[in-house]
Chain A
Amino acid sequence: MTIEERPLAIGDVVTDVPLQTFDGREFRLSSLRGRPLLAVCVRYYG
């Protein structure tokens, strides 16, 4: 396991991976900094 593959620990800055919006644009969680964020990673959309 590399460092990049190590799951984040409490206190770590969350990896700013590129996500995608419903209309195909790139979206990064870092754009939401400034307020607490609740991120719900669902099993799948259905």
Chain B
Amino acid sequence: MREAHASIEALGARVVAVGTGSAEQARRLMETGTPFPCLVDADRRLYRALGLGRVGWRTVFDLATYTNYWRAWRRGARQGDVSGDPRQLSGVAILDPEGRLRWLHVSRTVGDYPSLPDVMARLRKHEGGRDGPLRSR
């Protein structure tokens, strides 16, 4: 997402990351060059509002999870200290300029993120900002 940030901004959109971890960890991420705000939702209120669930411990440690870790590692991702809820599932949402939910990817398992090209295509579909396609359903 860091690499795509300029392209996303060029579409007129903003990016934020939200995590369940600590503010200290969010600060470290921003100090390492994350070009968008890293926010903390310690109470998981946004996660619950979006219907982002949690997995059982068995899923956290199963083969599919480690396969996803391996894929991420091959892309250059490196795991630091875990802060927050390791059982929390992720999600990606697009909100329109009025704050309405326009698209949502709810992860079904660990490492289930939409591809960057897919996210970019969704944003392009809604390109146009306040007066563009995101305004009307």
Interface set of A (CB-CB < 8 Å, partner B): 5, 7-24, 27, 29-30, 32-46
Contacts and interface: CB of A to CB of B under 8 A. Distances in A.
Nearest to B53: A7
A8 B102 CA distance: 10
A46 B119 CA distance: 22
Output the residue of A5, A11, A38 with the most chain B CB within 10 A. Answer: A38
Interface of B: 1, 8, 11-27, 29-30, 37-43, 45-52, 79-86, 88-104, 107, 110, 119, 123, 126-127, 129-130, 134, 137
* Chain B interface mostly: mixed
Contacts, number: 186
Contact of A12 (B30, B37, B101): B101
A40 B81 contact: no
B134 A36 contact: yes
Contacts of B93: 14, 38-39, 41
